[in-house]
Amino acid sequence: MATIADIKSALENVKYPGFAKSIVDFGFVKDVQVEGSACIITLEITSSAPEVEENLRKDIHSSLVGVVENITLNIKKPEAPSQQSNSVSGKNIAPQIKNFVMVSSGKGGVGKSTTTVNLAVAAAMQGKRVGILDADIYGPNIPRMMGINGKEVEVIGNKARPFKAYGVDVMSMGSLMEEGQALIWRGAMIMKAIQQLLRDILWEDLDILFIDMPPGTGDAQLTLAQSVPVTCGINVTTPQHVALDDSRRSLDMFKKLHIPIGGIIENMSGFICPKCNEESDIFGMGTCNELAEQYNTQVLGHLPIEPAIRQGGDNGKPIVYFQPESQTAKRYMQSAQKLIAYIDDITGTVSNASIQPTTPPGVSACSSAGASSSSHNGGGCGCH
């Protein structure tokens, strides 16, 4: 006859969907009772998604074959959230996601996607349920960096299922179009694509969705902010003053869209020699500290240049996952800890009600009709 210890030992082989840790490691197994050849197992999980429960039931029964005959599973889970959209609450087209983090930069080439990948994986390694939405329409690099380049998207009904890599749910424009294809889109197409990536992807109940945005401040950023309540924004920059000038524009955008600023990542901050591990200041270091003070935010981390970062990005092996003892990985983990603490402090206080469009449906905020209809309430696009 199986004992409670035998059953718990078998359950250690059941991985929580999307993660490398078991349901026992996560503490989801709340009670095990044995009565002869039967057992009653009580789980308490954090996802309301039906596919998570379905996978767990199947995996638990498989793991207990030969251990116990009759299994009763009681799975407790939160209720699925309902959509709210009105003048008070604002708009949220992906209510199953607790927090949205907009990763932005004033210009391209500063390591925004690399930062997104490693922060997301670091947050998942710290026990958070994490996703990445690659909304960089013009340069979607996340598939290569997460090792899912060339994989086909699974379509269920009229929606797409995210990929899973390193404990993170991932979806990218790069996975939805032919490799190397150029997108020459006007603003309306970009706005529609952003909304579809949020609404038509089977996102699970996530603690954090990291959204890798196109560089700059434009239609994509405004559409995202109006579609979901962005918990906070992160600005990625490099130490050069030319990059900092553009970062100010990105940070100013957060303020105009009423998005709390979660912090600044100073990328390419110093160089770590792969032979001697000595760190050299070649591009400058710490120049974003003053900028963080000006915008009343924190520096999440100073991330150095290290060959292993580039190699990991090219090969789909994030440094924070594959080289956790490296100096860079440790700094990413510390940055993720700071960000998680900030999110915990402001969760539930964010709203996008004040930036909702005020023009009638089908009328551009920039048209004469839109201007006249919104002249009494401060602007058609809602960002003023």
Within-domain flag for 35: yes
Region 331-360: mean pLDDT is: 88
Q: Looking at residue 26, what is its pLDDT?
A: 80
Q: Looking at residue 84, what is its pLDDT?
A: 42
User: pLDDT at residue 60 above 80?
Assistant: yes
Within-domain flag for 191: yes
Q: Looking at residue 359, what is its pLDDT?
A: 59
Give percent of the chain with pLDDT exceeding 70.
Answer: 87
Structure tokens given for 285 = 């270091």
Within-domain flag for 380: yes
Region 62-87: mean pLDDT is: 74
Region 31-37: mean pLDDT is: 89
Residue 373 in contact with residue 363, Cβ under 8 Å? yes
Q: Is the dihedral of CA 151, 95, 227, 156 positive or negative?
A: positive
The CA-based angle 167-50-122, given to 5 degrees, is 15
CA distance 43 to 29: 5
For 382: left if phi > 0, alpha if psi spans -120 to 50, otherwise beta; the answer is left
Last residue of some domain: 76, 108, 125?
76
User: Are 367 and 344 members of one domain?
Assistant: no
Q: Looking at residue 338, what is its pLDDT?
A: 95
User: pLDDT at residue 83 above 50?
Assistant: no
Q: Looking at residue 371, what is its pLDDT?
A: 43
User: Are 323 and 193 members of one domain?
Assistant: yes
Residue 355's φ and ψ, nearest 5 degrees, are: -115, 15
Answer with the residue of higher pLDDT: 142 or 287.
142
Within-domain flag for 104: yes
Q: Looking at residue 366, what is its pLDDT?
A: 46
User: pLDDT at residue 275 above 60?
Assistant: yes
User: Are 161 and 45 members of one domain?
Assistant: no
CA distance 21 to 167: 9
Bind-site residues for ATP:
106-113
State the CB neighbour count (10 A cutoff) for residue 379.
16
Least confident of 136-140, 152-156, 307-311: 136-140
Q: Which CATH number fits the domain that encloses residue 194?
A: 3.40.50.300
- 278-302 pLDDT, tens per residue? 777 777 788 889 999 999 999 999 9
Nearest alpha carbon to residue 217 among 136, 104, 135:
104
pLDDT range class, residue 259, cuts 50, 70, 90? very high
| Burial status of residue 249 (CB atoms within 10 A of its CB: 0-12, 13-18, 19 or more) | middle
CA distance 214 to 223: 12
CA distance 2 to 299: 53
- Cα 383 from chain centre: 24
pLDDT range class, residue 375, cuts 50, 70, 90? very low
User: Are 200 and 308 members of one domain?
Assistant: yes
User: pLDDT at residue 362 above 60?
Assistant: no
User: pLDDT at residue 250 above 70?
Assistant: yes
User: Are 15 and 46 members of one domain?
Assistant: yes
User: pLDDT at residue 98 above 50?
Assistant: yes
Q: Looking at residue 116, what is its pLDDT?
A: 96
pLDDT range class, residue 382, cuts 50, 70, 90? low
Domain, as residue range, for 218:
91-351
Q: Looking at residue 183, what is its pLDDT?
A: 56
Bind-site residues:
106-113
Last residue of some domain: 17, 49, 76?
76
Question: What torsion, rounded to 10 degrees, do the Cα atoms 187, 189, 193, 195 define?
Answer: 70
Residue 46's φ and ψ, nearest 5 degrees, are: -105, 0
User: Are 230 and 377 members of one domain?
Assistant: no
Q: Looking at residue 27, what is its pLDDT?
A: 85
State the CB neighbour count (10 A cutoff) for residue 7.
21
- Cα 30 from chain centre: 29
Within-domain flag for 192: yes
Last residue of some domain: 49, 76, 103?
76
User: pLDDT at residue 317 above 80?
Assistant: yes
CA distance 378 to 384: 6
Within-domain flag for 188: yes
Query: Mean pLDDT for the chain?
Result: 84
User: Are 331 and 261 members of one domain?
Assistant: yes
- Amino acid letter, 115: T
Answer with the residue of higher pLDDT: 82 or 215.
215
Residue 329 in contact with residue 344, Cβ under 8 Å? no
CA distance 365 to 344: 35
Q: Which CATH number fits the domain that encloses residue 54?
A: 3.30.300.130
* 19-23, 26-30, 138-142, 184-188: which is most confident: 26-30
User: Are 105 and 28 members of one domain?
Assistant: no
User: Are 228 and 327 members of one domain?
Assistant: yes
Least confident of 27-36, 83-92, 183-192: 83-92
Strands in 238-366 per DSSP E: 261-266, 271-272, 279-280, 299-302
Within-domain flag for 86: no
* 26-35, 226-235, 372-381: which is most confident: 226-235
State the CB neighbour count (10 A cutoff) for residue 59.
18
CA distance 235 to 186: 25
CA distance 43 to 295: 44
Within-domain flag for 211: yes
Domain count, the chain: 3
Region 111-135: mean pLDDT is: 93
CA distance 57 to 230: 34
User: pLDDT at residue 267 above 60?
Assistant: yes
Q: Looking at residue 87, what is its pLDDT?
A: 31
CA distance 250 to 263: 12
User: Are 262 and 345 members of one domain?
Assistant: yes
Give percent of the chain with pLDDT exceeding 90.
Answer: 43
User: Are 362 and 305 members of one domain?
Assistant: no
> Which residue matches tokens 């949220």?
92
User: pLDDT at residue 85 above 60?
Assistant: no
User: Are 207 and 152 members of one domain?
Assistant: yes
User: pLDDT at residue 215 above 60?
Assistant: yes
Residue 306 in contact with residue 319, Cβ under 8 Å? yes
Structure tokens given for 94 = 């992906």
CA distance 346 to 68: 46
